[in-house]
Structure 1
Amino acid sequence: MRRIGDTAIAAVTVVALGAGVWLLGGASKTHAPPQPAAAEGRPEPGEERLASPALEPSPPTRIRIPAIRVNAPLMGLALTRSGSLDVPPAEKKNLAGWYEAGTMPGETGTGIVAGHVDNTEGPAVFYNLGALKRGAVIEVDRQDGSVAVFTVDAVEVYAARNFPDEKVYGAAKRPELRVITCGGGYSRATGYQGNVVVFAHLTGGR
Protein backbone atom coordinates (compact mmCIF):
# COMPACT_ATOMS: atom_id res chain seq x y z
CA MET A 1 0.00 0.00 0.00
CA ARG A 2 0.95 3.63 -0.52
CA ARG A 3 0.21 6.16 2.19
CA ILE A 4 -1.12 9.58 1.15
CA GLY A 5 -1.47 11.89 4.12
CA ASP A 6 -2.81 9.71 6.94
CA THR A 7 -4.61 7.23 4.72
CA ALA A 8 -3.26 4.14 2.98
CA ILE A 9 -4.37 3.40 -0.58
CA ALA A 10 -4.05 -0.11 -1.93
CA ALA A 11 -2.16 -0.72 -5.16
CA VAL A 12 -5.47 -1.85 -6.67
CA THR A 13 -6.83 1.68 -6.44
CA VAL A 14 -7.86 2.12 -10.04
CA VAL A 15 -8.52 -1.27 -11.58
CA ALA A 16 -12.29 -0.78 -11.92
CA LEU A 17 -12.55 2.37 -14.01
CA GLY A 18 -13.91 0.77 -17.15
CA ALA A 19 -16.33 -1.93 -18.22
CA GLY A 20 -15.09 -2.66 -21.73
CA VAL A 21 -18.24 -4.71 -22.34
CA TRP A 22 -19.27 -2.51 -25.25
CA LEU A 23 -16.02 -3.45 -27.02
CA LEU A 24 -17.23 -7.04 -27.18
CA GLY A 25 -20.52 -6.25 -28.81
CA GLY A 26 -20.22 -4.44 -32.12
CA ALA A 27 -17.37 -2.06 -31.41
CA SER A 28 -14.30 -2.83 -33.48
CA LYS A 29 -10.74 -2.81 -32.18
CA THR A 30 -10.21 0.53 -33.87
CA HIS A 31 -12.58 2.01 -31.31
CA ALA A 32 -10.55 0.88 -28.29
CA PRO A 33 -9.31 3.72 -26.05
CA PRO A 34 -6.06 5.33 -27.26
CA GLN A 35 -2.89 4.39 -25.40
CA PRO A 36 0.01 6.77 -24.73
CA ALA A 37 3.05 6.68 -26.99
CA ALA A 38 6.48 6.02 -25.50
CA ALA A 39 7.48 9.59 -26.36
CA GLU A 40 4.96 10.88 -23.80
CA GLY A 41 6.75 9.11 -20.91
CA ARG A 42 8.39 10.71 -17.91
CA PRO A 43 10.98 13.41 -18.73
CA GLU A 44 14.62 12.97 -17.81
CA PRO A 45 15.87 14.68 -14.60
CA GLY A 46 16.33 18.40 -15.15
CA GLU A 47 13.78 18.42 -17.97
CA GLU A 48 10.85 19.28 -15.68
CA ARG A 49 9.37 22.76 -15.92
CA LEU A 50 9.34 25.05 -12.91
CA ALA A 51 6.19 24.90 -10.81
CA SER A 52 4.05 27.82 -9.69
CA PRO A 53 3.69 28.52 -5.96
CA ALA A 54 1.06 26.42 -4.23
CA LEU A 55 -2.48 27.73 -3.91
CA GLU A 56 -4.44 27.88 -0.68
CA PRO A 57 -6.38 24.64 -0.06
CA SER A 58 -9.83 24.56 -1.66
CA PRO A 59 -11.85 21.53 -2.82
CA PRO A 60 -11.96 20.99 -6.60
CA THR A 61 -15.31 21.14 -8.38
CA ARG A 62 -14.57 20.61 -12.10
CA ILE A 63 -11.78 19.40 -14.38
CA ARG A 64 -11.18 20.63 -17.93
CA ILE A 65 -8.70 19.19 -20.42
CA PRO A 66 -9.23 21.15 -23.65
CA ALA A 67 -6.93 18.99 -25.80
CA ILE A 68 -9.21 15.96 -25.37
CA ARG A 69 -12.47 17.87 -24.85
CA VAL A 70 -12.95 16.96 -21.19
CA ASN A 71 -15.17 19.28 -19.15
CA ALA A 72 -16.50 17.34 -16.19
CA PRO A 73 -17.73 17.94 -12.64
CA LEU A 74 -15.79 16.34 -9.79
CA MET A 75 -17.19 14.41 -6.86
CA GLY A 76 -15.33 13.44 -3.70
CA LEU A 77 -14.06 9.85 -3.49
CA ALA A 78 -13.27 7.86 -0.36
CA LEU A 79 -11.72 4.43 0.18
CA THR A 80 -13.58 1.13 0.08
CA ARG A 81 -13.27 -1.40 2.88
CA SER A 82 -10.52 -3.15 0.93
CA GLY A 83 -8.44 0.03 0.86
CA SER A 84 -8.96 0.80 -2.80
CA LEU A 85 -10.27 4.11 -4.03
CA ASP A 86 -13.99 4.19 -4.68
CA VAL A 87 -15.06 5.26 -8.17
CA PRO A 88 -17.74 7.57 -9.60
CA PRO A 89 -21.06 5.92 -10.55
CA ALA A 90 -20.45 4.11 -13.85
CA GLU A 91 -23.76 5.28 -15.32
CA LYS A 92 -22.65 8.94 -15.07
CA LYS A 93 -20.29 9.01 -18.04
CA ASN A 94 -19.21 12.65 -17.70
CA LEU A 95 -18.33 12.55 -14.00
CA ALA A 96 -14.86 12.25 -12.47
CA GLY A 97 -13.78 12.08 -8.86
CA TRP A 98 -10.96 13.24 -6.62
CA TYR A 99 -9.50 11.60 -3.51
CA GLU A 100 -10.86 13.93 -0.85
CA ALA A 101 -8.81 12.53 2.04
CA GLY A 102 -5.63 13.44 0.15
CA THR A 103 -4.15 16.57 -1.40
CA MET A 104 -6.50 19.16 -2.89
CA PRO A 105 -5.35 19.94 -6.44
CA GLY A 106 -3.35 23.16 -6.34
CA GLU A 107 -1.84 22.75 -2.87
CA THR A 108 1.57 21.20 -2.26
CA GLY A 109 1.48 17.44 -2.68
CA THR A 110 0.00 14.89 -5.06
CA GLY A 111 -3.66 15.41 -5.96
CA ILE A 112 -5.50 12.39 -7.35
CA VAL A 113 -8.32 12.50 -9.94
CA ALA A 114 -9.87 9.33 -11.36
CA GLY A 115 -12.63 8.60 -13.85
CA HIS A 116 -14.03 5.88 -16.08
CA VAL A 117 -12.67 5.19 -19.55
CA ASP A 118 -16.02 3.71 -20.56
CA ASN A 119 -19.15 2.00 -19.31
CA THR A 120 -21.45 -0.62 -20.79
CA GLU A 121 -22.85 1.94 -23.24
CA GLY A 122 -19.57 3.27 -24.64
CA PRO A 123 -16.84 5.88 -24.02
CA ALA A 124 -16.83 7.82 -20.75
CA VAL A 125 -15.13 10.93 -19.37
CA PHE A 126 -11.48 9.82 -19.69
CA TYR A 127 -11.80 7.68 -22.82
CA ASN A 128 -9.21 9.81 -24.67
CA LEU A 129 -6.82 10.29 -21.75
CA GLY A 130 -4.19 8.10 -23.42
CA ALA A 131 -4.07 10.50 -26.37
CA LEU A 132 -2.95 13.41 -24.20
CA LYS A 133 0.49 14.88 -24.95
CA ARG A 134 3.23 16.33 -22.80
CA GLY A 135 2.75 20.09 -22.46
CA ALA A 136 -1.06 19.90 -22.56
CA VAL A 137 -3.04 22.00 -20.08
CA ILE A 138 -5.36 20.72 -17.35
CA GLU A 139 -7.57 23.20 -15.51
CA VAL A 140 -9.22 22.47 -12.17
CA ASP A 141 -11.99 24.76 -10.93
CA ARG A 142 -12.04 25.10 -7.16
CA GLN A 143 -14.70 25.88 -4.61
CA ASP A 144 -13.18 29.26 -3.71
CA GLY A 145 -13.60 30.46 -7.31
CA SER A 146 -9.96 29.99 -8.28
CA VAL A 147 -8.66 27.85 -11.13
CA ALA A 148 -5.55 25.69 -10.74
CA VAL A 149 -3.71 25.32 -14.06
CA PHE A 150 -1.50 22.27 -14.54
CA THR A 151 0.89 21.32 -17.34
CA VAL A 152 1.26 17.67 -18.34
CA ASP A 153 4.74 16.23 -17.74
CA ALA A 154 4.08 12.69 -18.93
CA VAL A 155 1.39 10.20 -19.92
CA GLU A 156 2.14 6.55 -19.18
CA VAL A 157 0.39 3.17 -19.12
CA TYR A 158 1.09 0.47 -16.53
CA ALA A 159 0.03 -3.14 -16.21
CA ALA A 160 -2.19 -3.62 -13.17
CA ARG A 161 0.09 -6.32 -11.77
CA ASN A 162 3.08 -3.93 -11.84
CA PHE A 163 1.35 -0.67 -10.96
CA PRO A 164 4.03 1.68 -9.48
CA ASP A 165 2.06 3.04 -6.53
CA GLU A 166 5.08 4.87 -5.06
CA LYS A 167 5.71 6.68 -8.35
CA VAL A 168 2.04 7.56 -8.87
CA TYR A 169 0.86 8.31 -5.32
CA GLY A 170 4.12 9.29 -3.64
CA ALA A 171 4.42 12.62 -1.82
CA ALA A 172 5.57 15.62 -3.88
CA LYS A 173 7.34 18.78 -2.73
CA ARG A 174 5.46 20.89 -5.26
CA PRO A 175 1.78 20.96 -6.35
CA GLU A 176 1.26 17.96 -8.63
CA LEU A 177 -1.71 16.15 -10.15
CA ARG A 178 -2.36 12.59 -11.30
CA VAL A 179 -5.28 11.80 -13.59
CA ILE A 180 -6.02 8.08 -13.82
CA THR A 181 -8.24 5.75 -15.82
CA CYS A 182 -8.20 2.19 -17.16
CA GLY A 183 -6.11 1.16 -20.15
CA GLY A 184 -3.40 -1.21 -21.29
CA GLY A 185 -5.57 -3.37 -23.51
CA TYR A 186 -8.75 -5.30 -22.79
CA SER A 187 -9.33 -8.98 -22.13
CA ARG A 188 -12.72 -10.67 -21.98
CA ALA A 189 -11.45 -12.74 -19.05
CA THR A 190 -9.85 -10.01 -16.93
CA GLY A 191 -11.20 -6.70 -18.23
CA TYR A 192 -8.78 -3.80 -18.72
CA GLN A 193 -5.25 -4.96 -18.04
CA GLY A 194 -3.78 -1.76 -16.66
CA ASN A 195 -4.10 1.96 -16.13
CA VAL A 196 -3.29 5.16 -17.98
CA VAL A 197 -1.76 7.79 -15.69
CA VAL A 198 -1.22 11.47 -16.48
CA PHE A 199 1.47 13.26 -14.48
CA ALA A 200 1.15 17.03 -14.25
CA HIS A 201 2.33 19.94 -12.09
CA LEU A 202 0.95 23.36 -11.24
CA THR A 203 2.06 26.11 -13.62
CA GLY A 204 -0.50 28.82 -12.94
CA GLY A 205 -3.65 29.93 -11.21
CA ARG A 206 -6.33 32.53 -11.61
Structure 2
Amino acid sequence: MPSSQSAIEEEPRKKRAPWGVIALVLLTGLALIRNGSGEFTVGPPQPASAAAAERRVHGQIRAEGPAPLSFSLAQRISIPAIQVDAPIQPVGLDAEGWVDAPPPQDPNLAGWFNGSVSPGEKGTSVVVGHVDNNAGPAVFYGLGSLSKGNHVEVTRKDGRTAIFEVYGIEVFEKENFPGTRVYGETGGAELRVITCGGGFTKENGYDGNVVAFARLVKTI
Protein backbone atom coordinates (compact mmCIF):
# COMPACT_ATOMS: atom_id res chain seq x y z
CA MET A 1 0.00 0.00 0.00
CA PRO A 2 1.42 3.45 -0.85
CA SER A 3 2.72 5.37 2.14
CA SER A 4 0.39 8.30 1.57
CA GLN A 5 -2.21 9.63 -0.82
CA SER A 6 0.21 12.32 -1.99
CA ALA A 7 2.66 9.63 -3.00
CA ILE A 8 -0.01 8.05 -5.18
CA GLU A 9 -0.83 11.41 -6.78
CA GLU A 10 2.79 12.30 -7.54
CA GLU A 11 3.82 8.89 -8.81
CA PRO A 12 3.22 8.36 -12.56
CA ARG A 13 0.52 5.87 -13.14
CA LYS A 14 1.97 2.38 -13.43
CA LYS A 15 0.60 -0.46 -15.50
CA ARG A 16 -1.51 -2.57 -13.18
CA ALA A 17 -1.50 -6.33 -12.96
CA PRO A 18 -4.03 -8.15 -15.14
CA TRP A 19 -7.39 -8.64 -13.45
CA GLY A 20 -6.91 -12.39 -13.61
CA VAL A 21 -3.97 -12.08 -11.22
CA ILE A 22 -5.64 -9.52 -8.97
CA ALA A 23 -8.82 -11.56 -8.77
CA LEU A 24 -6.93 -14.57 -7.47
CA VAL A 25 -5.53 -12.45 -4.67
CA LEU A 26 -8.92 -10.99 -3.92
CA LEU A 27 -10.65 -14.35 -3.72
CA THR A 28 -9.32 -14.58 -0.19
CA GLY A 29 -8.07 -11.04 0.21
CA LEU A 30 -11.49 -9.51 0.61
CA ALA A 31 -11.98 -11.66 3.68
CA LEU A 32 -9.90 -9.06 5.51
CA ILE A 33 -13.08 -7.01 5.87
CA ARG A 34 -14.93 -10.01 7.32
CA ASN A 35 -14.54 -9.16 10.97
CA GLY A 36 -17.37 -6.79 11.67
CA SER A 37 -18.73 -7.08 15.16
CA GLY A 38 -22.05 -8.75 14.30
CA GLU A 39 -23.16 -7.94 17.84
CA PHE A 40 -26.54 -6.39 17.11
CA THR A 41 -30.10 -7.62 17.52
CA VAL A 42 -30.81 -7.05 13.83
CA GLY A 43 -28.08 -7.88 11.34
CA PRO A 44 -27.42 -5.99 8.11
CA PRO A 45 -29.96 -6.39 5.29
CA GLN A 46 -29.25 -9.17 2.81
CA PRO A 47 -29.85 -8.92 -0.95
CA ALA A 48 -33.13 -10.27 -2.28
CA SER A 49 -32.81 -13.06 -4.84
CA ALA A 50 -34.63 -10.87 -7.37
CA ALA A 51 -31.74 -8.38 -7.23
CA ALA A 52 -29.17 -10.82 -8.63
CA ALA A 53 -27.03 -9.43 -11.43
CA GLU A 54 -27.71 -10.72 -14.90
CA ARG A 55 -24.90 -12.93 -16.09
CA ARG A 56 -22.90 -11.36 -18.88
CA VAL A 57 -20.41 -12.66 -21.39
CA HIS A 58 -16.83 -11.91 -20.29
CA GLY A 59 -15.42 -9.07 -22.36
CA GLN A 60 -18.81 -8.04 -23.77
CA ILE A 61 -18.68 -4.57 -25.33
CA ARG A 62 -21.44 -2.16 -24.39
CA ALA A 63 -22.31 0.29 -27.16
CA GLU A 64 -24.53 2.49 -24.99
CA GLY A 65 -23.45 4.64 -22.07
CA PRO A 66 -21.08 7.59 -21.71
CA ALA A 67 -17.45 7.50 -22.73
CA PRO A 68 -15.18 6.34 -19.90
CA LEU A 69 -13.13 8.92 -18.04
CA SER A 70 -9.36 9.07 -17.62
CA PHE A 71 -7.60 8.22 -14.35
CA SER A 72 -8.35 10.32 -11.27
CA LEU A 73 -8.39 9.45 -7.59
CA ALA A 74 -11.77 8.75 -6.01
CA GLN A 75 -12.60 11.16 -3.20
CA ARG A 76 -16.17 10.56 -2.10
CA ILE A 77 -19.00 8.06 -2.56
CA SER A 78 -22.71 8.81 -2.34
CA ILE A 79 -25.51 6.23 -2.44
CA PRO A 80 -28.74 8.20 -1.84
CA ALA A 81 -30.98 5.12 -1.57
CA ILE A 82 -29.20 4.01 1.62
CA GLN A 83 -28.11 7.43 2.92
CA VAL A 84 -24.41 6.88 2.26
CA ASP A 85 -22.22 9.96 1.89
CA ALA A 86 -18.63 9.12 2.78
CA PRO A 87 -15.04 10.04 1.96
CA ILE A 88 -12.89 7.53 0.12
CA GLN A 89 -9.25 6.75 0.81
CA PRO A 90 -6.99 4.57 -1.35
CA VAL A 91 -6.33 1.09 0.05
CA GLY A 92 -3.91 -1.51 -1.23
CA LEU A 93 -2.72 -4.93 -0.16
CA ASP A 94 -1.04 -5.52 3.19
CA ALA A 95 2.16 -7.50 3.75
CA GLU A 96 0.22 -10.76 3.66
CA GLY A 97 -1.49 -9.99 0.36
CA TRP A 98 -4.91 -9.11 1.81
CA VAL A 99 -6.97 -6.11 0.78
CA ASP A 100 -6.25 -3.44 3.37
CA ALA A 101 -9.73 -2.20 4.31
CA PRO A 102 -10.23 1.30 5.76
CA PRO A 103 -9.67 1.67 9.53
CA PRO A 104 -12.72 0.19 11.33
CA GLN A 105 -12.64 2.94 13.96
CA ASP A 106 -14.13 5.38 11.42
CA PRO A 107 -17.58 4.03 10.56
CA ASN A 108 -18.12 6.48 7.70
CA LEU A 109 -15.11 5.75 5.50
CA ALA A 110 -14.80 3.77 2.27
CA GLY A 111 -11.73 2.52 0.45
CA TRP A 112 -10.93 2.46 -3.27
CA PHE A 113 -8.70 -0.52 -4.06
CA ASN A 114 -5.76 1.04 -5.88
CA GLY A 115 -5.05 -2.15 -7.81
CA SER A 116 -8.22 -1.48 -9.79
CA VAL A 117 -9.03 1.29 -12.26
CA SER A 118 -10.33 4.54 -10.82
CA PRO A 119 -14.13 4.92 -10.79
CA GLY A 120 -15.29 6.00 -14.24
CA GLU A 121 -12.36 4.53 -16.16
CA LYS A 122 -12.87 1.67 -18.56
CA GLY A 123 -12.66 -1.50 -16.51
CA THR A 124 -13.95 -2.59 -13.13
CA SER A 125 -13.30 -0.31 -10.18
CA VAL A 126 -13.59 -1.66 -6.62
CA VAL A 127 -14.73 0.21 -3.52
CA VAL A 128 -14.82 -1.57 -0.15
CA GLY A 129 -16.02 -0.66 3.32
CA HIS A 130 -17.05 -2.13 6.64
CA VAL A 131 -20.59 -3.25 7.39
CA ASP A 132 -20.25 -2.50 11.11
CA ASN A 133 -17.80 -2.10 13.96
CA ASN A 134 -18.00 -2.50 17.72
CA ALA A 135 -19.92 0.76 18.06
CA GLY A 136 -22.66 0.00 15.53
CA PRO A 137 -23.43 0.05 11.79
CA ALA A 138 -20.71 1.30 9.45
CA VAL A 139 -20.64 2.88 6.00
CA PHE A 140 -22.03 -0.02 3.94
CA TYR A 141 -24.40 -1.50 6.52
CA GLY A 142 -27.36 -1.01 4.19
CA LEU A 143 -25.66 -2.19 1.00
CA GLY A 144 -27.69 -5.41 0.84
CA SER A 145 -30.95 -3.45 0.63
CA LEU A 146 -30.08 -1.76 -2.67
CA SER A 147 -32.30 -2.40 -5.67
CA LYS A 148 -31.65 -2.47 -9.39
CA GLY A 149 -31.76 1.05 -10.74
CA ASN A 150 -30.34 2.73 -7.63
CA HIS A 151 -27.46 5.12 -8.28
CA VAL A 152 -23.95 5.26 -6.85
CA GLU A 153 -22.10 8.56 -7.33
CA VAL A 154 -18.33 8.82 -7.00
CA THR A 155 -16.70 12.24 -6.85
CA ARG A 156 -13.16 12.30 -8.23
CA LYS A 157 -10.12 14.51 -7.63
CA ASP A 158 -10.42 15.99 -11.14
CA GLY A 159 -13.80 17.48 -10.20
CA ARG A 160 -15.79 15.01 -12.27
CA THR A 161 -18.51 12.81 -10.82
CA ALA A 162 -19.04 9.31 -12.16
CA ILE A 163 -22.63 8.11 -11.76
CA PHE A 164 -23.25 4.37 -11.80
CA GLU A 165 -26.53 2.46 -11.93
CA VAL A 166 -26.89 -0.72 -9.90
CA TYR A 167 -27.83 -3.73 -12.01
CA GLY A 168 -27.34 -6.43 -9.41
CA ILE A 169 -26.75 -6.98 -5.71
CA GLU A 170 -25.72 -10.38 -4.35
CA VAL A 171 -24.07 -12.09 -1.41
CA PHE A 172 -21.36 -14.67 -2.06
CA GLU A 173 -19.71 -17.12 0.30
CA LYS A 174 -16.09 -16.19 0.91
CA GLU A 175 -15.04 -19.79 0.38
CA ASN A 176 -16.59 -19.79 -3.11
CA PHE A 177 -16.16 -16.18 -4.15
CA PRO A 178 -16.61 -15.87 -7.96
CA GLY A 179 -13.64 -13.62 -8.66
CA THR A 180 -13.85 -13.70 -12.44
CA ARG A 181 -17.54 -12.82 -12.42
CA VAL A 182 -17.15 -10.01 -9.90
CA TYR A 183 -13.93 -8.42 -11.15
CA GLY A 184 -13.84 -9.38 -14.81
CA GLU A 185 -13.96 -6.59 -17.38
CA THR A 186 -17.15 -6.14 -19.37
CA GLY A 187 -15.89 -3.75 -22.04
CA GLY A 188 -17.22 -0.67 -20.25
CA ALA A 189 -16.73 1.31 -17.06
CA GLU A 190 -18.14 -0.54 -14.07
CA LEU A 191 -18.06 -0.39 -10.28
CA ARG A 192 -18.23 -3.00 -7.54
CA VAL A 193 -19.10 -1.91 -4.01
CA ILE A 194 -18.27 -4.62 -1.49
CA THR A 195 -18.83 -5.23 2.21
CA CYS A 196 -19.37 -8.16 4.55
CA GLY A 197 -22.59 -10.13 4.75
CA GLY A 198 -24.15 -13.54 5.07
CA GLY A 199 -24.04 -15.47 8.33
CA PHE A 200 -21.96 -14.43 11.33
CA THR A 201 -20.13 -16.33 14.06
CA LYS A 202 -17.89 -15.05 16.85
CA GLU A 203 -15.15 -17.40 15.72
CA ASN A 204 -15.02 -16.54 12.02
CA GLY A 205 -16.92 -13.28 11.55
CA TYR A 206 -19.11 -12.93 8.47
CA ASP A 207 -19.03 -15.83 6.04
CA GLY A 208 -19.88 -13.84 2.91
CA ASN A 209 -19.41 -10.65 0.96
CA VAL A 210 -22.23 -8.47 -0.34
CA VAL A 211 -21.42 -7.15 -3.81
CA ALA A 212 -23.23 -4.37 -5.66
CA PHE A 213 -22.73 -4.50 -9.43
CA ALA A 214 -23.06 -1.15 -11.17
CA ARG A 215 -22.27 0.36 -14.59
CA LEU A 216 -21.44 3.92 -15.59
CA VAL A 217 -24.49 5.76 -16.91
CA LYS A 218 -23.52 9.42 -16.62
CA THR A 219 -20.62 11.76 -15.92
CA ILE A 220 -20.86 15.35 -14.77
What is the TM-score with the length of structure 1 in the denominator?
Answer: 0.89
SS in 2 for 1:11: helix
Relative to structure 1, the CA distance from residue 139 to residue 49 in structure 2 (aligned partners, 3 Å threshold; closer, same or farther) is farther
Q: Equivalents in 2 of 1:203, 1:56: separation in Å?
A: 16
Q: Equivalents in 1 of 2:214, 2:65: separation in Å?
A: 10
Task: Note the 1:1-206 alignment, pairs <5 A.
Answer: 3-4=18-19, 9-21=25-37, 23=39, 27-28=40-41, 31-43=42-54, 50-206=64-220
Once the two structures are superposed, residues 47-84 of structure 1 have per-residue CA deviations (whole angstroms, 9 ceiling, x without a partner) of: x9943210122111000000000000000011122222
SS in 1 for 2:182: helix
The 8 Å contact of residues 34 and 207 in structure 2, kept in 1 or not, is answered as no
Structure 2: runs of 5 or more not aligned: 1-16
- Shift in Å at residue 97 of structure 1? 0.3
Once the two structures are superposed, residues 90-141 of structure 1 have per-residue CA deviations (whole angstroms, 9 ceiling, x without a partner) of: 1010000001132011010000000000011110000000000010000000
Relative to structure 1, the CA distance from residue 44 to residue 100 in structure 2 (aligned partners, 3 Å threshold; closer, same or farther) is closer
The 8 Å contact of residues 88 and 95 in structure 1, kept in 2 or not, is answered as yes
Q: Equivalents in 2 of 1:49, 1:130: separation in Å?
A: 29
SS in 1 for 2:27: coil
Relative to structure 1, the CA distance from residue 22 to residue 110 in structure 2 (aligned partners, 3 Å threshold; closer, same or farther) is closer
Give the ranges of 4+ consecutive aligned residues of structure 1 lying more than 6 Å apart after TM superposition. Answer: none
- Corresponding position of 2:4: none
Once the two structures are superposed, residues 9-54 of structure 1 have per-residue CA deviations (whole angstroms, 9 ceiling, x without a partner) of: 331122232544351xxx32xx2000000000012659x9943210
Greater helix content: 2
**C-alpha root-mean-square deviation of aligned residues, in Å?**
2.1
Q: Equivalents in 2 of 1:20, 1:6: separation in Å?
A: 27
Greater strand content: 1
The 8 Å contact of residues 67 and 132 in structure 1, kept in 2 or not, is answered as yes
Q: Equivalents in 2 of 1:13, 1:153: separation in Å?
A: 24
Kindly tell me the number of residue pairs found equivalent between the two proteins. 199
Q: Equivalents in 2 of 1:199, 1:52: separation in Å?
A: 17
What is the TM-score with the length of structure 2 in the denominator?
Answer: 0.84
Q: Equivalents in 1 of 2:136, 2:146: separation in Å?
A: 19
Which AA in structure 1 matches 2:46?
Q
SS in 1 for 2:218: strand
Which AA in structure 1 matches 2:19?
I
Q: Equivalents in 1 of 2:63, 2:210: separation in Å?
A: 22
Q: Equivalents in 1 of 2:158, 2:175: separation in Å?
A: 39
